[in-house]
Amino acid sequence: MKHEIAVIPGDGIGPEVIREGMKVLNAAAEVTSGLKLKFTQFPYGAENYLKTKELVPEEGLKKLSKMDAIYLGALGDPRVPTGVLEQGILLKLRFYFEQYINLRPVKLYPGVPCPLKGKGPEHVNFYVVRENTEDFYVAIGGRAKGKSRAELEVLRSIYTAKFGLDLDVERDEIAYQIGVISRKGAERAIRYAFELARKKGKKRVTSVDKANVLTHVYSLWREVFERVAKDYPEIETEFAFVDAVTMWFVKNPEWYQVIVVPNMFGDIITDLGAMIQGGLGVAPGGNINPEGVSMFEPIHGSAPKHAGKNVANPLATILAGQMMLEHLGEQEAADNVERAVIDVLKEGKVRTYDLGGKSDTSDVGDAVAARVREIN
């Protein structure tokens, strides 16, 4: 089957790691019967923004909507104010294509050192399903300073009634951010987590929140979780507070199988997950719309200080490509890519500096691509 893949190399090390990811995906297509991949590159990122002042134009969104998936390198550049590229490209794509699931496999591969004492691949192997379009990322908020005196007086009265503190409306400033959880948004993310558990043979789904303090939004989350869980009686369920989860990730990661979590807390705990699986260099992620265009990327940033040096670890990007193949229904090719990564890591001859080696970015891509061809 032929798949049209949009490629956004992005910034910093993005073009280098995407190059190796495409190298491995092309190798998989070469040796998998009936699989064809067509890559179309899009220039969105810092260089394009600095030249044109465009992030993702409407015409670009229309072209991307015709693709089967998006393969993203990394975004972020010190020449562009923080948040411009991330919000104007990454978040724009997530929201435009309603990629309401952020899927993060947290898997420690053989040959990758784990910072947790006594833990190996048999202890770190779970999935985090992060709701990807709601919570505190809906961009509802602002600052009160500079508003009309009437507005400031209303805010002052609310603040005083709530906290018993008085504000000087002429001098004090309030910043606020509003988190939003909808029943629909919670249900589709939670149901995705249960379906994933069934597909992967997992027997426990853990719901993470902070309902003991942020009661309004996360009590709804819990209510929906309990209702959806009734449709999956064979799967064990539990609730956990986000602060407790960060502790137990470190102490007993083997307990977790599938975790479902609102947007902001998911953003935080998946970085911790990346570290216990060996670092950002081996951590892939997918922004998924099960009925639409999904986007796959390494979870690391653009690392501008390493750009152009051919030293970055491309394995996270290669594994993001593996996730993309699986999402597109190409399970055989996806399995072969993952098997090739495992073999190269086990052998230990080719690895980048972050894993204790001296190999180049391109060396790793070459080794994994060669192994993909050998498997077949």
Q: Report the helix count and the strand count for the chain, using DSSP H and E.
A: 13, 12
Do residue 244 and residue 123 come from a single domain? yes
Rounded CA separation 16/312 (Å): 8
Same domain, 299 and 339: yes
Total domain count for the chain? 3
Summarize pLDDT for 94-103 with one digit per residue, the tens: 999 999 999 9
Q: Do 8 and 52 share a domain, yes or no?
A: yes
Q: How far apart are CA 155 and CA 146, in angstroms?
A: 13
Q: Are residues 336 and 375 in the same domain?
A: yes
Tell me what pLDDT residue 135 has: 86
Q: Are residues 121 and 226 in the same domain?
A: yes
Do 119 and 237 fall within a single domain? yes
pLDDT of residue 152: 62
Considering the domain architecture, whether residues 235 and 126 belong to the same structural domain is answered as yes
Tens digits of pLDDT across the chain (376 residues): 899 999 999 999 999 999 999 999 999 999 999 999 999 999 999 999 999 999 999 999 999 999 999 999 999 999 999 989 998 999 999 999 999 999 999 999 999 999 999 999 999 999 999 999 998 877 777 666 655 566 666 666 766 665 565 656 556 666 777 888 999 999 999 999 999 999 999 999 999 999 999 888 899 999 999 999 999 999 999 999 999 999 999 999 999 999 999 999 999 999 999 999 999 999 999 999 999 999 999 999 999 999 999 999 999 999 999 999 999 999 999 999 999 999 999 999 999 999 999 999 999 999 999 999 998 6
Same domain, 125 and 266: yes
pLDDT digits (tens, 9 = 90+) for 190-221: 999 999 999 999 999 999 999 999 888 899 99
At 225, which CATH number?
3.40.50
Same domain for 226 and 259?
yes
Domain ranges, residue 265: 114-131+182-277
Domain boundary among 253, 277, 301: 277
User: Are residues 251 and 188 both part of a single domain?
Assistant: yes
Q: Where are the alpha helices (DSSP H) in 252-330?
A: 263-276, 315-327
Model pLDDT, residue 137: 77
Phi-psi region of 119 (alpha: psi -120 to 50; beta: other; left: phi over 0): beta
Residue at which a domain ends, from 246, 277, 308: 277
Question: What CATH code is carried by the domain that includes residue 16?
Answer: 3.40.718.10
Single out the residue in 255, 277, 299 at which a domain terminates. 277
Domain shared by 268 and 122, yes or no: yes
Rounded Cα distance between 271 and 268, Å, is: 6
Q: Which residues are catalytic?
A: 137, 210, 243, 267, 271
pTM of the predicted model, to two decimals? 0.91
Q: Of 86, 62, 83, nearest to 10 (Cα)?
A: 86
